[in-house]
Amino acid sequence: MNKYEEAFNVIETILHLMCGEEREDNYKPSHDEMVNSMEDFKELVERSTPQKLLYNGEYVSFCNCPNCKKVVPIHGNYCPRCSQALDWRVEND
C-alpha cells in the first residue's frame, strides 16, 4: 500500500468513527497518523494542481519542472520524474 492509500485509509476510518461506526478490526488512527495523512493528501493535491513551468522567456523546446526543477519534454501534462501537473499556457504581458 502506498502512502496515499494509507492516508485514504486513515481518513476513511476517521469519517466512519465520526459517524459512530467502527471497523471490524477496531483500528483507530493515532494523532500522528492523522497528521501524516493530511500532509500526504496535501502533497497529492499540490502535485495534481497544474503549476507554471520555469521558463526564461526565450523559445526553447523544453522547460523545467516547478517542483523538482528537472527538464521536462515540451507539452507533457505531468513531469515524468515527480508527477507534478504542468501548466503550459503562456500568459501575455
More confident residue, 89 or 71: 71
User: For the residues 63-83, what does the mean pLDDT come to?
Assistant: 87
Q: Could you tell me the residue ranges of all domains in the chain?
A: 3-48, 50-93
Residue bearing cell 501537473? 85
Residue 56 banded pLDDT, cuts 50, 70, 90: low
For 16-50, the pLDDT digits (tens) are 888 888 877 888 888 888 888 888 888 888 888 88
pTM assigned to the model:
0.56
- List, for residues 74-86, the tens digit of each pLDDT value: 778 889 999 899 9
The pLDDT score that the predictor gives to residue 85 is 92
Burial (Cβ within 10 Å: 0-12, 13-18, ≥19) of residue 7: buried
CA nearest neighbour of 49 among 74, 22, 35, 67: 67
